[in-house]
């Protein structure tokens, strides 16, 4: 698991084609009123589209950057309070891809880091999942997916720090 995470981080932060930007054209975010109304699946798809398929993002004004920073941070904290690690990771990844940083985004990032388990994975402990009646293999796959989502968000944050330096 650790080696997979390190490999993903190395390839994501080095912007190898196929991991960061495989699409062409300019990606434009939806209006904030539309963004807030997105359901969970649409929100996850939008975050994926921005972080995987868009090579160039439409430039934002300073005001827009501040508003998107607050919005993504507030949504990240809200989803963290409900325990939705996947959406928090997607929002943190999206914010990092947009070069946004803020107090609430930092809180969402801390939430993601607090979800790491002793074996290096992220999310619920396997014992808790089994207690909830899950099958062992399904639990392992869910944990792997969750771990990849969080590591991807953290790799995007590392790339943001590198771009900002």
The per-residue pLDDT for range 12-50, each reduced to its tens digit, is: 444 333 333 444 556 678 888 899 999 999 999 998 888
Closest to 48 (Cα-Cα) out of 90, 79, 86, 97 = 90
Query: Is residue 126 over pLDDT 80?
Result: no
> What is the pLDDT confidence band of residue 78, given thresholds at 50, 70 and 90?
very high
Q: Quick one: pLDDT band at residue 67, thresholds 50, 70, 90?
A: very high
Of the chain, the percentage scoring pLDDT greater than 70 comes to 73
Specify the DSSP class assigned to residue 116. B
pTM: 0.76
Q: Which two tokens stand for residue 161?
A: 């720090």
pLDDT tier at 95 (50, 70, 90 boundaries)?
A: very high
Residue 16 DSSP one-character state: -
How confident is the model at residue 21, as a pLDDT? 40
CB 37 within 8 A of CB 68: no
Pairing state between β 56-57 and 26-27: parallel
Q: What pLDDT is recorded for position 13?
A: 44
Confidence of residue 60 (pLDDT cuts 50, 70, 90): confident
Instruction: Report the distance separating Cα 146 and Cα 23, nearest Å.
Output: 25
Percentage, residues of the chain above pLDDT 90: 35
């Amino acid at each position: 698991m650790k080696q997979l995470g390190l490999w993903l981080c190395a390839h994501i932060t080095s912007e190898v084609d196929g991991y960061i930007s495989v699409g062409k054209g300019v990606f434009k975010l939806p209006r904030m009123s539309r963004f807030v109304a997105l359901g969970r699946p649409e929100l996850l798809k939008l975050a994926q589209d921005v972080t995987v398929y868009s090579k160039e993002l439409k430039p934002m004004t300073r005001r827009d950057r501040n508003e998107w920073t607050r919005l993504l941070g507030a949504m990240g904290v809200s989803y963290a309070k409900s325990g939705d690690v996947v959406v928090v990771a997607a929002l943190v990844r999206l914010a990092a891809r947009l070069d946004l940083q803020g107090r609430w985004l930092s809180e969402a990032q801390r939430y993601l880091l607090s979800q790491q388990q002793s074996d290096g994975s992220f999310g619920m402990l396997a014992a808790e999942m089994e207690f909830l009646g899950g099958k062992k293999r399904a639990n392992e796959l869910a944990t792997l997916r969750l771990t990849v989502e969080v590591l991807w968000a953290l790799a995007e944050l590392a790339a943001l720090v590198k771009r900002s330096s």
